[in-house]
């Protein structure tokens, strides 16, 4: 029997596992390093600027996030999933991205006065007009992103993202120290996008003439349109609270709420998206092997929850000393907001894992339907809760999100071949370990004598690490071994 040079299915799967591991290390490993540096600058800037500055900035983000849902990353995802992605298709995508983003920049510039009138803050118009510059860079980021993602080359992406993150952080620090106020928060993303556009185009060798002849590119447009629809629904649920509260809250109180959201959503907004990018590319390759994909999804969810659960519950039980140390004494009124929002974030994290899997199997409509559900439930809850202030908004999270997650779970899992029992069994070990950790840390906090916030935070944090690791070692050894094996590249 002659030896074949073709890979066997098992060899192909092992090769994909190696690629995924390498991608995760580069995409999330450098993301962690970059985010640590970025957060260091961010928290310094937060201590310099006022809650009102962050409130004004949050008002502009509602418009910016909405239009960015339409900026063409769905089109880029279509190219990742497409079988044929030759030079002509790349040029067509580039042309689509340029036209689309020019239109979006014009819309934002024209709508700026109306947004300012809605929030009763004239400065919002000036901020939005300058932020329209971000759309110029987007085509030069989205196309290289698609090309590198097709090859699962996340090393170059990670290097560029790291460099651009540093550029944004330096700009933010310089702006804060120069006394630019809220303009600091506008200048930093512009610097970040500019460096990222140049770096990604160079890394992917993606500089080309765009094509505005879109014949034969209907599948890209349709796929991108469906994904954009889902993203719009995501906007309606993720920005509804800020949009509604921005009309009723003053900039100071809105800044307290949005900065608390930023702190509690660090994991789901900063770490989960790059992992989802890797997952989407991997799922797209496994879409014809539903059993392997289902196993991969459960394993991915379990590993993510091993990190997410102690983060969220740790935030909840150390909210007051953490806010005082990280944000500064002037932000102390954010502590109870951070406490309660952190407890809602595990639901949001699980919800965020669904779309990459359903999109990868060619069912982006599932994500759109889930988004539509959230776009109905969450804004309705926020509209009711806002009348009771910030705590009313928090109550709305707990009233609407469990139902939203239940509906999405029931709709998504059959499509990707995952049984609910398998998913629950997969994530319960880190959930139980984090709950045990939170109870131990809460008890310790009650027993500690009065002390400086930093000392209290260090003691509680150290106790939390020991409690969480000890619980996993004693009661969830298999889960702990799996994470260690993933890091060490051993099969498990």
Count other C-beta atoms under 10 Å from residue 142's C-beta: 27
Q: What is the mean pLDDT of residues 264-271?
A: 87
**What does the DSSP assignment read for 375-434?**
HHHHHHHHHHHGGGHHHHHHHHHHHHHHHHHHHHHHHHHHHHT--HHHHHHHHHHHHHHH
Q: In terms of pTM, does the model score above 0.85?
A: no
Q: What is the pLDDT of residues 60-71, one digit of tens each?
A: 998 988 887 777
Looking at per-residue pLDDT, the higher value among 152 and 21 belongs to 152
Work out the pLDDT band at 82, boundaries 50, 70, 90: low
Q: How far apart are CA 296 and CA 229, in angstroms?
A: 27
Strands (E), 65-197: none
Work out the pLDDT band at 490, boundaries 50, 70, 90: very low
Work out the pLDDT band at 22, boundaries 50, 70, 90: low
Q: What is the pLDDT of residues 351-375, one digit of tens each?
A: 999 988 888 777 878 887 898 899 8
Tell me what the pLDDT averaged over the chain comes to.
85
Looking at per-residue pLDDT, the higher value among 18 and 133 belongs to 133
Q: How far apart are CA 22 and CA 26, in angstroms?
A: 6
Count other C-beta atoms under 10 Å from residue 134's C-beta: 24
Which pLDDT value is given to residue 81?
A: 61
Judge whether residue 116 has pLDDT over 60.
yes
Q: How far apart are CA 308 and CA 434, in angstroms?
A: 9
Q: How far apart are CA 431 and CA 230, in angstroms?
A: 29
Judge whether residue 3 has pLDDT over 50.
no
Which pLDDT value is given to residue 84?
A: 62
Q: What is the mean pLDDT of residues 193-219?
A: 86
Q: How far apart are CA 29 and CA 155, in angstroms?
A: 10
Q: What is the pLDDT of residues 315-325, one digit of tens each?
A: 999 999 999 99
Which pLDDT value is given to residue 35?
A: 63
**What does the DSSP assignment read for 23-78?**
HHIIIIIHHHHHHHHHHHHHHHHHHHS-HHHHHHHHHHHHHHHHHHTTSSHHHHHH
Which pLDDT value is given to residue 43?
A: 86
CA dihedral 281, 285, 291, 297 (to 10 degrees): 0
CA dihedral 43, 48, 54, 55 (to 10 degrees): 140
Which pLDDT value is given to residue 491?
A: 43
Judge whether residue 278 has pLDDT over 50.
yes
Q: Is 254:242 a contact under the CB 8 Å cutoff?
A: yes
Looking at per-residue pLDDT, the higher value among 212 and 58 belongs to 58
End-to-end CA distance of the chain: 32
Q: What is the mean pLDDT of residues 398-418?
A: 95
Work out the pLDDT band at 6, boundaries 50, 70, 90: very low
Judge whether residue 252 has pLDDT over 50.
yes
Which pLDDT value is given to residue 10?
A: 52
Looking at per-residue pLDDT, the higher value among 173 and 367 belongs to 173
Work out the pLDDT band at 121, boundaries 50, 70, 90: very high
């Amino acid at each position: 029997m002659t030896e074949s040079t073709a890979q066997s299915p098992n060899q192909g799967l092992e090769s994909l596992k190696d690629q995924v591991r390498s991608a995760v290390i580069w995409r999330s490993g450098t993301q962690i390093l970059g985010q640590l540096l970025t957060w260091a600058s961010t928290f310094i800037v937060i201590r310099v600027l006022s809650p009102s500055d962050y409130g004004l900035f949050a008002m502009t983000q509602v418009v910016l996030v909405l239009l960015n849902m339409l900026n063409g990353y769905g089109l880029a995802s279509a190219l990742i999933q497409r079988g044929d992605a030759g030079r002509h298709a790349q040029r067509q995508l580039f042309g689509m991205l340029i036209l689309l983003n020019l239109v979006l920049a014009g819309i934002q510039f024209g709508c700026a006065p109306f947004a300012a009138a809605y929030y009763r803050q004239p400065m919002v118009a000036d901020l939005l007009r300058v932020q329209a510059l971000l759309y110029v860079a987007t085509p030069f980021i989205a196309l290289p992103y698609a090309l590198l993602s097709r090859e699962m080359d996340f090393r170059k992406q990670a290097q560029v993202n790291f460099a651009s993150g540093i550029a944004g952080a330096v700009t933010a620090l310089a702006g804060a120290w120069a006394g630019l106020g809220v303009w600091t928060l506008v200048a930093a993303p512009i610097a970040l996008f500019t460096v990222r556009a140049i770096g990604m185009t160079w890394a992917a060798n993606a500089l080309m003439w765009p094509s505005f002849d879109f014949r034969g590119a209907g599948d890209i447009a349709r796929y991108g349109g469906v994904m954009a629809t889902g993203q719009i629904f995501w906007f309606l649920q993720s920005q509804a609270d800020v949009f509604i509260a921005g009309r009723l809250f003053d900039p100071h109180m809105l800044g307290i709420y949005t900065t608390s959201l930023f702190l509690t959503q660090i994991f789901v907004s900063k770490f989960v998206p790059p992992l989802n990018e890797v997952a989407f590319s991997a799922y797209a390759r496994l879409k014809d092997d539903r059993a392997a994909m289902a196993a991969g999804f459960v394993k991915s969810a379990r590993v993510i929850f091993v990190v997410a659960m102690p983060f969220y519950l740790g935030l909840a039980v150390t909210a007051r000393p953490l806010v005082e140390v990280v944000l500064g004494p002037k932000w102390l009124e954010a502590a109870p907001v951070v406490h309660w929002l952190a407890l809602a974030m595990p639901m949001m994290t699980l919800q965020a894992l669904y779309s990459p899997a359903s999109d990868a199997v060619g069912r982006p409509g599932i994500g759109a339907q889930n988004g539509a559900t959230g776009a109905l439930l969450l804004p309705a809850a926020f509209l009711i809760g806002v009348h009771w202030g910030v705590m009313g908004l928090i109550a709305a999270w707990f009233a609407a999100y469990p139902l939203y997650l239940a509906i999405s779970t029931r709709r998504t899992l059959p499509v990707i071949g995952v049984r609910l029992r398998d998913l629950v069994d997969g994530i319960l070990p880190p959930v139980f370990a984090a709950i045990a950790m939170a109870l131990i840390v809460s008890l310790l906090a009650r027993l500690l004598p009065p002390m400086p916030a930093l000392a209290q935070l260090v003691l509680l944090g150290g106790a939390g690490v020991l409690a969480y690791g000890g619980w996993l070692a004693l009661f969830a050894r298999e889960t702990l071994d799996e994470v260690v094996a993933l890091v060490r590249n051993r099969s498990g």
